[in-house]
Amino acid sequence: MILVTVKETSNRISSFEMSGHADYAEHGQDLVCAGASAVSFGAVNAIMELTGIEPDIQQANSGFLKVSFPNNLDEKTDQQVQLLVRSMIVSLKTIEQDYEEYIKITFTA
């Protein structure tokens, strides 16, 4: 199962972490894994390209990704980052609705 943990405090997302594998299908044919990966990496790439920030990214071959956003952003840039990361979460929730046995999203403070 893919576990997505979103850290949100005072209505601001400061980081998200993804770990595990969906095991929906064989490696290379797993639509849930591919979808979750495409959504998350696409969002991180969009944040970097469109806002110019460099989030702290930790990644491992074992299906682990953690992305933390800087706390000291100006208000406009932070709003842009928040919008992009929230759109990522909407897409991941859509995947979760259809494949709830393979992906789970949780929020922590």
Catalytic residues: 21, 33
Which helix or strand (DSSP H or E) is residue 65 part of?
strand 64-68
| Beta carbons of 4 and 95 less than 8 angstroms apart | no
Q: Which residues contact 26 (CB under 8 A, 6 or more apart)?
A: none
What is the side-by-side strand order in the sheet with 103-108?
56-60, 64-68, 12-19, 2-9, 103-108
Q: CA-CA distances (angstroms) from residue 89 to 17, 28, 44, 99?
A: 12, 23, 12, 15
